[in-house]
Amino acid sequence: MADVPFGISGVAPGQFGQGLSNARPAFGRRVYAPPSGNIEADILEPTLEADIAAIIGPSAHRFLPCYRAWRATGPASGQSILGWWPSRRLARDWIAYLFPLPWLFYRKLYFYGAIITVLMTLMSIVMPGLVGDVVGAVIWAILMRSAKPIYLAHSLKLIAKADKRGLAGDDRTAFLKKRGGQSILGLILGIVATIGGLFLM
């Protein structure tokens, strides 16, 4: 299946997926045009970044630089954003590092939150004491560097689902905001899971 350059073949920016149903999804080997360098224009124009901003919400400005850095090199080399290792400056997210489970569940990353919960529970049983603490610290450090790529990969998958449904305009924005965004219930669940993990340590 051939790669389809973003913004080429008569497809205007912001029409991601419209007329591209046979192309690879955004989180695979899609080739993007480089960002314009004008941050305000990149966000305000109806582009893929506008979809990402709709999913993430008010804090999208903290994630878009990471996305742009990946877009500049990753897609052309076939590098999935989920396996991409950003620079320390771009990856830094202290909230995700200090409160990983609440952050994951709050961002509706339930799958990853469940994996971390299971891993931490198993470690407290199989590797109690110092060894478990060291392994836990390593997992925390990895999460700190990969939290933003994980969330961006999740966002791109939601955008691909919107494309598959042929959504556009207000319907598309409403779908992305509903499936993305934040969850107070998820935040509470993450806090409960964190407290439970502390009792198991």
- Whether this prediction's pTM lies above 0.75 is answered by no
Give the pair of three-digit tokens for residue 2.
């051939």
Question: Over the stretch 109-157, which tens digit does the pLDDT of each residue have?
Answer: 999 888 888 887 777 777 776 776 777 777 777 777 788 889 999 999 9
pLDDT score at 151: 93
* 38-77 pLDDT, tens digit each: 544 444 444 788 999 999 999 998 999 888 888 887 666 6
Q: Where are the domains of the chain?
A: 39-200
Distance in angstroms (rounded) separating the CA atoms of residues 18 and 92: 34
Of the chain, the end-to-end C-alpha distance in Å amounts to: 49
